[in-house]
Chain A
Amino acid sequence: GAVVSQHPSWVICKSGTSVKIECRSLDFQATTMFWYRQFPKQSLMLMATSNEGSKATYEQGVEKDKFLINHASLTLSTLTVTSAHPEDSSFYICSATPSGMSSNEQFFGPGTRLTVL
């Protein structure tokens, strides 16, 4: 149980285009989901906290107009990288906390590798 999927697993796009990444909790409902990015050989950095039915909370330094987060249902959160540029190339990982469970329980998705040409 407690499986989180991401789609796509990898994507290559041209500079200036937008890319949408999906994060789904497959066997549980998640009121809260999290988005992280990881640069090569570095740790995960929290980008934003996504709450179902409300606006996401962004970490300092993360442009909310560039990284659009939508959490329209209890099993799906999406991250859209708008007008992507090569510096946005990274590994994006989501995690989800099952509704009703301790907020310190997070289950991570397999990640999405974004390459912007």
Chain B
Amino acid sequence: AQSVTQLGSHVSVSEGALVLLRCNYSSSVPPYLFWYVQYPNQGLQLLLKYTTGATLVKGINGFEAEFKKSETSFHLTKPSAHMSDAAEYFCAVSGLSGNQFYFGTGTSLTVIP
């Protein structure tokens, strides 16, 4: 069974500050891990994904995430927040055995000018 927990349904940061969005997963098989961003009334846009290989994954818009197996975590970070980063962020997991995605409950990011 696979599941995703996103700690903090709302996160506020000042413009220029570090962004940290937390994601923990449970999976009975080696997971594939994803971060998506959703702007209001739009679909999902892939930020980055981890499948195999290097555990530090770099994505679009300056975001990156690190897969830590020992902590079952895949936290999303960005060194300096921009106003345009304000959106809903979803962490998702899928397993080798299937192609179903399991999404976290999402984290709403607010960037304060």
Where the two chains meet, the residues of A that have a C-beta atom closer than 8 Å to any C-beta of B are: 4, 6, 32, 34, 41-46, 49, 91, 93, 95, 97, 102-104, 106, 108-111, 113
B100/A49 in contact, CB under 8 A? yes
Q: Does B44 contact A (CB under 8 A)?
A: yes
B43/A113 in contact, CB under 8 A? no
Where the two chains meet, the residues of B that have a C-beta atom closer than 8 Å to any C-beta of A are: 32, 36, 41-46, 51, 90, 94, 96, 98-106
| Chain B residue nearest to A6 in the complex (CB) | B43
Given contacts A42-B106, A43-B90, are A106 and B101 in contact (CB under 8 A)? yes
Would you call the interface of chain A mostly helix, strand, loop, or mixed?
strand
B51/A43 in contact, CB under 8 A? no
B103's contact among A44, A91, A102, by CB below 8 Å, is which? A44
CB-defined contacts of B90 to chain A, threshold 8 Å: 43-44
**Separation of A95 and B101 alpha carbons in the complex (Å):** 10
A43/B105 in contact, CB under 8 A? yes
CB-defined contacts of B98 to chain A, threshold 8 Å: 103
B99's contact among A6, A43, A103, A108, by CB below 8 Å, is which? A103
A104's contact among B99, B105, B106, by CB below 8 Å, is which? B99
- Nearest 7 CB-CB pairs, A to B? A103-B99, A110-B43, A108-B44, A104-B32, A43-B103, A111-B43, A108-B43
